Chain A
Amino acid sequence: MVMEIKLKHVSADYRVGPMRSPLILNNVDLQIKTGSLTAVVGHTGSGKSSLLKTMNGLLMPKEGNVYIGPYEINQKINKKELKKIRQVVGMVFQFPESQLFAETVEKDICFGPLNFGVSLSEAKKIASEVIELVGLDQSILSKSPHALSGGQKRRVAIAGILAMKPDILVLDEPGAGLDPEGKKEIMNLILRQNEEFNITTILVTHDMEDLARYMKDVIVMDKGKIVYHDSVRKLFENPKLVSDWNLDFPEARKLQLKIEQEFQIRFPSIALTEEELANSLIEVGLI
């Protein structure tokens, strides 16, 4: 399905008691194509999570409109439509394992589909499908979520979102707090969803290595505004941009810049991963 995401002049803030926070999103315009894979980076408090929340109506825009395919989110939206949008946009929060509550993994995964009006037998069928998608064994379905390891819990939580059959998947730091192996598995799982089912994927990350290795497009947020939305490679080509927004280079690019400085040379192409670095070193004849 064509599910383009479009934000037009979106501003938003939070209400804390009787006080309002300053604008956490300030006149944001954004367009994301169906089936694309986009990362969101930026400093803490730059509005990354809020940007994601506006996409499924958990944070209502104070001004402007959010368009998700045929749907429109603004102050006047009714509950029925909002629910439809929440089904279309699957949102995986930071540390999603903290939302697991049911006695068995199966029941927890079924929670989403059942809320969206799927029958119990159908929901169970979906549960056994998605548990395979996230690379877990069928036998886990009957276990308690609290008996699982951290990485497994995370995957069960993501399975709970995938079970809603979303067209768009929005993730807030899906790899945070996992060991390198677990992190890699989660990233691969997300990429597979994106490739095989053409699910539009947007994910917040702090990890420049992940950004360099897996992502194609990147949105940079700074003080509630989108300051950059283009390819990852172009971002790392420009050292000034990276330092302006307090971002960092991936290790391979860092080493490349260091070598350029020491040997007074310039590489013809920039390296984002070890393999690319090795290739570029061969290219200039250093090894």
Chain B
Amino acid sequence: MNKLILGRYFHGTSILHHLDPRAKLLAGIYFIFMLFLADHFYSYLLLWGFTFYVMYLSGISFKIYFRGVKPLIWLILFTVTLQILFTSGGHIYFDWGIFTISQFGVINGLYIFSRFVMIILVSTVITLTTKPMELTDAIHYFLRPLAIFKIPVNEISIMLSISLRFIPNLMDETQKIMDAQKARGAEFGEGSIFQQMKALVPIFLPLFSSSLNRAEDLANAMEIRGYQSNKKRSSFRRLKWHWKDTFCLFTLLLLTASVMLIQYFT
């Protein structure tokens, strides 16, 4: 339960913590986009360097980041193996029936691996250094233009922020109910798949019932405080764009230029 790193906020005072969430979100998406354009060894080296630099800037230990990659490592290795085995071209190292390990395959595998891991690392940097509420504010900001297509942007953003807000409560509650059922002799993660699923019933049923109760309480509390989604709302947290946010995006432009130069000249 406590091993999930992605989506958790770590309090800190690094420059990344103080950046505007919009800048971080934009930069993150842009970086991922760039990962898919890069197809040269040196550009990957540069992108790796950038990723590590950003991780270093966040002031959070590298161990924590790699713990975030761990749960997905099998999925990544599986994909990479498929790439290696079924891509042909270049020098052939090994050949057995339909399986060939070729030069292109290995390189492609390396690229795919890099993409996967860097996407996880960079998005972890963003979620670790940005409060969930700030992130929803940023998403709300970018979704706002969609309101002209009659998309309920306000509702979407309040739903997002409510669900993010209650994740810690839900985790706490899960832990409590698990403890209570363990005290009654329940065992988790043991026996056949069927037994394991059955063992989850005593956790999920109380959890569902308390979540539904809370949802109703929350709806009532919002109602009596006069919440209406179609009214214009002012915000307690205001996003402010500073020169360092511009600088952050400028750095990415610089990175793009370097990657393009590398791809063009080599």
Determine which of A79, A83, A111 lies in contact with B202 in the assembled complex, contact meaning CB atoms within 8 Å.
A111
Instruction: Provide the residues of chain A in CB contact with B150, threshold 8 Å.
Output: none
Inter-chain CA distance A17–B67, complex, in Å, is 10
Cβ-defined contact, A83 with B183, below 8 A: no
Interface string of A92-104 (1 = CB under 8 A from B): 0100101111000
Inter-chain CA distance A18–B70, complex, in Å, is 14
Cβ-defined contact, B201 with A164, below 8 A: no
Inter-chain CA distance A101–B2, complex, in Å, is 24
Cβ-defined contact, A98 with B64, below 8 A: no
Q: Which of A79, A91, A115, A146: most chain B CB closer than 10 A?
A: A115
Residue A287 lies at the interface, judged by CB distance under 8 Å to chain B? no
Determine which of B2, B184, B206 lies in contact with A98 in the assembled complex, contact meaning CB atoms within 8 Å.
B206
Residue A267 lies at the interface, judged by CB distance under 8 Å to chain B? no
Instruction: Provide the residues of chain B in CB contact with A58, threshold 8 Å.
Output: 179, 182-183
Instruction: Provide the residues of chain A in CB contact with B181, threshold 8 Å.
Output: 99
Determine which of A17, A99, A111, A164 lies in contact with B5 in the assembled complex, contact meaning CB atoms within 8 Å.
A17
- Cβ < 8 Å to B, chain A residues 8-24: 15-18
Cβ-defined contact, A164 with B185, below 8 A: yes
Inter-chain CA distance A91–B179, complex, in Å, is 10
Chain A interface size, as a band, is 20 to 34
Residue A194 lies at the interface, judged by CB distance under 8 Å to chain B? no
With both chains docked as a complex, state the minimum distance between the C-beta of A80 and any C-beta of chain B, in angstroms.
11
Cβ-defined contact, A116 with B176, below 8 A: no
Inter-chain CA distance A152–B21, complex, in Å, is 49
Known contacts A17-B5, A18-B63, A146-B209; is A115 also within 8 Å of B186 by CB? Answer: yes
Determine which of B2, B176, B185, B206 lies in contact with A100 in the assembled complex, contact meaning CB atoms within 8 Å.
B206
Task: Name the CB-closest residue of B to A79.
Answer: B187
Q: How many chain B residues have a CB neighbour from A under 8 Å?
A: 26
Cβ-defined contact, A164 with B184, below 8 A: yes
Residue B180 lies at the interface, judged by CB distance under 8 Å to chain A? yes
Known contacts A17-B8, A99-B206; is A112 also within 8 Å of B201 by CB? Answer: no
Known contacts A53-B179, A93-B176, A116-B185; is A16 also within 8 Å of B206 by CB? Answer: no
Instruction: Provide the residues of chain A in CB contact with B183, threshold 8 Å.
Output: 56, 58, 86, 90-91, 93, 161
Inter-chain CA distance A161–B186, complex, in Å, is 13
Known contacts A17-B8, A18-B67; is A86 also within 8 Å of B185 by CB? Answer: yes
Residue A47 lies at the interface, judged by CB distance under 8 Å to chain B? no
Task: Name the CB-closest residue of B to A58.
Answer: B179
Task: Name the CB-closest residue of B to A163.
Answer: B184
Instruction: Provide the residues of chain A in CB contact with B186, threshold 8 Å.
Output: 111, 115
Known contacts A17-B5, A116-B185; is A99 also within 8 Å of B180 by CB? Answer: yes
Residue A128 lies at the interface, judged by CB distance under 8 Å to chain B? no
Residue B248 lies at the interface, judged by CB distance under 8 Å to chain A? no
Interface string of B47-84 (1 = CB under 8 A from A): 00000000000000101100100000000000000000
Known contacts A53-B179, A99-B206, A101-B206; is A112 also within 8 Å of B5 by CB? Answer: no
Instruction: Provide the residues of chain A in CB contact with B180, threshold 8 Å.
Output: 91, 93, 96, 98-99
Residue A160 lies at the interface, judged by CB distance under 8 Å to chain B? yes
Task: Name the CB-closest residue of A to B3.
Answer: A17
Residue B220 lies at the interface, judged by CB distance under 8 Å to chain A? no
Cβ-defined contact, A161 with B184, below 8 A: yes
Task: Name the CB-closest residue of A to B181.
Answer: A99
Residue B210 lies at the interface, judged by CB distance under 8 Å to chain A? yes
Inter-chain CA distance A229–B48, complex, in Å, is 59
Known contacts A98-B206, A101-B205; is A112 also within 8 Å of B176 by CB? Answer: no
Instruction: Provide the residues of chain A in CB contact with B210, threshold 8 Å.
Output: 98
Task: Name the CB-closest residue of A to B202.
Answer: A101
Known: A91-B183, A115-B184, A115-B185. 9 other contacts (CB 8 A): A17-B2, A17-B8, A93-B176, A98-B206, A99-B202, A101-B201, A101-B205, A111-B186, A164-B185
**22 interchain pairs, CB-CB under 8 A:** A16-B2, A17-B2, A17-B4, A18-B5, A18-B61, A18-B63, A56-B183, A58-B179, A58-B183, A83-B187, A86-B182, A86-B184, A90-B183, A93-B180, A98-B177, A99-B181, A101-B202, A101-B205, A101-B206, A112-B185, A161-B183, A164-B184
Pairs of residues from A and B, 9 with the lowest C-beta to C-beta distance, nearest first: A115-B185, A99-B180, A101-B205, A91-B183, A112-B184, A101-B202, A93-B180, A116-B185, A58-B179
Which residues of B are at the interface with A, using a C-beta cutoff of 8 A? 2-5, 8, 61, 63-64, 67, 176-177, 179-187, 201-202, 205-206, 209-210
